[in-house]
Amino acid sequence: MKTAFYHTTTKFKSWPRIYTNDLNDYSQVEKYKSLAPYVWLINPDYELIPSFNYNFSPFDQNRFMIHSFPRCSFQTKRPLSWDAVKLVPTHRNISDTILKQRSIASYGTPGFLIIHAFNDPIAVKKLNNFESTESPYQLVKRHNNYDDFIQDINLDYTGEWVWIVDIDFEHTKSFKFDYIPEDVNSVYYWKVKHDSTNLEYADRTVMLVHESYILDLQAGRKPKHKEIVQNNVAGILHDTSNPYKSWARAYSNTMQLLTNALGKVNKRDRNRILETMLASDNDYIKHACVTATNDIDNTIDENEKTELYNNSQDYKWLEEKFKQVQQERLASLKTI
């Protein structure tokens, strides 16, 4: 039996297709001038939906326009970008007028955003930064350390892929949280520019992980997932928003750098970050870096060093440590 769709697909001949990362280079269609009235320019980085209509034919009044088809949020169906597919006439007007079509070409990855905010009383006010992502998200702000936060992730509500994002991260306009991961056995990191150092490097600010990675951590297993750092910079981490946050993050990061636990940062970059923190104009950052360095230099054995590292990732412990050093600094000023 022949369906209505059968007649549609046999009546029209789909236009030639060019897979290209530059959908704005219309010279690519020139060679098809004598062969077809239109050519599809298709972004190979995106998977098009099975129902995408390759037999689309513009109305006569729009036949010389370039027709663009969006990549949309899986949840809201709103466009994330217009770099998925274009139908370009081989004989077109010089104006290159682009007509945006409502038909969806591709969906962004249905990754769920979990935004963590340790010890941040104004975290809710910072959520406006994530409204433009068109992705479902959840704010988690009741944990004192990263391990407890991971343990409390409920994968029943997230889906297969999970974005783990710092509340103080501000993404660029071009970063859409729509990356399509290639391997379930990999963890993806993005480079972020840090206000504290003005340097770009990958840590735990922006991560895309498969649910199996979270399940391993929750079960106490060391994940065997490969760590992959993306080349593009996702945005800025505002890690100097107040004195305590500047100090706490600097102390924690210094401890991670000294124990080789700061994401995918090589030895050369670790040294550069430490040097920058020690030379910082921010007294809190400089003091935290010196304090952390002295603390680890005074450790007796590896067990003590491990305990110190674990404490440095606990925001309640960091808060108490900050109060202590502030009191010591205040006392030293009074004796002068």
Predicted confidence at residue 10, as pLDDT, reads 39
Instruction: Dump the DSSP string for 272-286.
Output: HHHHHHHT-S-HHHH
Q: What ranges make up the beta strands (E) of the chain?
A: 17-19, 38-42, 66-72, 79-89, 98-100, 106-107, 112-116, 137-140, 161-166, 169-171, 186-194, 200-201, 206-210, 226-237
Residue of 131, 132, 129, 208 lying closest to 165 (CA atoms): 208
Full-model pTM: 0.70
Q: Is 178 helix (H, G, I), strand (E, B) or coil?
A: coil
**Residue 240 to residue 249: CA distance in whole angstroms:** 8
Scored b (16 or more CB within 10 A) or e, 145-178 reads: bbeebbeebeeeebeebbbbbbbbbbbeeebbbb
- pLDDT tens, the chain, 336 aa long: 333 333 333 345 689 999 998 999 999 999 999 999 999 999 998 889 999 999 999 998 888 899 999 988 776 677 777 889 999 999 876 667 899 999 999 987 657 899 999 878 889 999 988 877 767 788 988 888 888 999 989 888 787 889 999 999 999 988 878 787 878 999 999 999 999 999 999 999 999 999 999 999 999 999 999 999 998 999 999 999 889 999 999 999 999 999 888 777 888 899 999 999 999 999 999 999 999 999 999 987 889 989 999 999 998 999 999 999 888 877 777 665
Residue 94 DSSP one-character state: T
**Lookup result for tokens 């936060």:** 149
Instruction: Dump the DSSP string for 11-53.
Output: HS-PPPEEE-S-TT-GGGGGGGTTT-SEEEEE-TTSPBPTT--
Instruction: Dump the DSSP string for 197-214.
Output: T--EE-SSSEEEEEHHHH
Residue of 145, 151, 140, 143 lying closest to 311 (CA atoms): 145
**Residue 109 to residue 49: CA distance in whole angstroms:** 12
Predicted confidence at residue 226, as pLDDT, reads 94
Domain spans of the chain, in order of start: 10-106, 109-237, 240-336
Residue 114: what residue type?
I
Residue 241 DSSP one-character state: S
Query: Which residues, 6+ apart, have CB-to-CB distance to 251 below 8 Å?
Result: 288, 289, 291, 292, 312, 318, 321
Predicted confidence at residue 335, as pLDDT, reads 66
Specify the CATH superfamily of domain 109-237. Answer: Spore Coat Polysaccharide Biosynthesis Protein SpsA; Chain A (3.90.550.10)
**Residue 48 to residue 33: CA distance in whole angstroms:** 25
Residue 299: what residue type?
T
Query: Which residues, 6+ apart, have CB-to-CB distance to 129 below 8 Å?
Result: 169, 170, 171
